[in-house]
Structure 1
Amino acid sequence: MQSFVLGRVLQAAFIIFFIAVSVFLILRLSAGDPARIRAPVFARPDVIEQYRKDFGTDRPVIAQLGSFFAGVAKGDLGNSFRFQEPVIDLIARALPKTLLLAATALAISLTLAIVLGSMAALRPNSFWGWLSSALAAFGQAAPVFWFGVVLVLIFSITLKWFPSGGFSGPLSLVLPAIAVSLSILPTQLRVLRAAMEATLRQDFIRTAHAFGLRERRIVFVYALRNACLPLITVTGVDIGYLLGGVIVAEVVFNFPGIGELALVALNARDYPLIQGITIVTATTFVLVNLLIDLLYGWIDPRIRLEQP
């Protein structure tokens, strides 16, 4: 068990390092000079050069890369070019709201996938089966930004039930969370339904029926526990889509999270802030997938991690 965890941690560290280096180099090769963007319009060349010195972009790329990783080793992600604040402080203010939105969206999608997928597997030709297929098809076809705009037009502008943007309380989470959850729901719904249908045909389910156990207990305790394994696997993969959907939703709903901060950083060519957001996002994705791997043994006792 310890060797497995250590191996996964080392693998995660390598992935994060590779992503950080790639983003660092791509930013330097892309068009746009942060000094020219930050400097006043029609600024003199010496003023622009002074901005480059202040930002450290006048040095060779290798020297900038070395300074960047030296700072990361000390927990320092540098200062933002745009906001003139430590990157770690900016991310610390925005990240909790992003994680709250992502967790809410994930909870909505998992709840719908489990309930609708289970009901559709039990009664495939009923209303539940039709609703499951229709919702999966709609979620697959509707982009987050389009569905977000539709939600705002209906529930914010027309009905005035929810805020159209910003973050002023729990109600501000409802519309963006629904928009994001729909982006990952189709895969989860189809996987859970297929796994549940296969599980319900297993011998141990027939044995449970023969012993006279209640159908609700058989379905939602024995069958669902086994059917959730593929759902957990696909959820780990969907975390990347979830984070991407959250960023888009934050822009659509003007939600003060990592997505809105990343958009500002990209427009300003704010290298330290973009790099910091990338590292934090990649670390979150890798850690969630590591946690999902470790959950396998707890959910299904038949699965055992090999000991050294």
Structure 2
Amino acid sequence: MKSTIIKILKEKAIWMVFIILFVAFSLANPRFLSSSNLFTIARQVSMLGIASIGMTFVILISGIDLSTGSIITFVNIVAAFLMVNMGFGMVTAIILSLILSILVGVLNGCLISTIGIPAIIATFATQIVFEGASYLISGGTPIYGFDERFKVIGQGYLGPVPVPVIIMIVCFAIGSFILNKSYFGRYFYAVGGNEEASKLSGIRVGVTKYLVYALSGLFAGLAGIVMLSRTNSAQPTAGLGYEFDVITCVVLGGVSITGGYGKMSNVIAGVLIIGILTNGMVLMNVSTYMQMVVKGIVLVLAVGFDSLQKKRALT
């Protein structure tokens, strides 16, 4: 009984941290609980959350995707360029941009699975390539002047709920279904837990990696579309450094950096914590550089906690 209670507390600890932070910022700054600020947090969190779903899959198979931020930027620029400079309709531009984001993920899968380049190097290379491509397409200048209907995706409401939040909820539901109800989800856990054993049991590890990185590209692309709609301007630096926040959300949510363990529900808590932490520090006039320090410390603590848990399990 005692061990069961301890296990439940460990699994729900991340939600307790979220509640403590929420209460702390509410007491520290009365503007934190204002409806306008809470809606701002909700929109910001939605982009993090959508991108974190794909990163969760990647880390579950013991991989990493450093190209997430560049994919977000690339989709921003491509979608905007298609709508403004090429005269494509909104829906066509979105679909083509998402297809490109999936193809970037497939490219990552090819480099990692087929060629055998370590994930950290392969995705770092594609990060640089598509960051450069974004500058080439945009000429280093913002692209704006979209159809007014496009704003609905990032700025609209369905009743009192922001549309980006609804998109995030749907994406998390899909992500949870994939992990918990599909055999692909079981493959992700198996490959992350023991790749060699997965091969021996008949799992097509290479195909699984292709799928995971393609999904990572897709969800990063969706986050890019929401970001573009929210800002109403495509910036060649839109997703700069975004992969860091996404990785922090996932690891903080309890997904093991060595793969094979993690829950989508706890990733939601990790996303919310990073969202309110960032917003709270802005309200308290904490400098950008100090925010970077704090987020770095949070990431180190999350990974360190995961490492300690694994060491204890082995002793």
Whether TM-score is above 0.5 comes out as no
Larger radius of gyration: 1
Greater RCO (Cα-Cα under 8 Å, separation 6 or more): 2
**TM-score normalized with structure 2 length:** 0.26
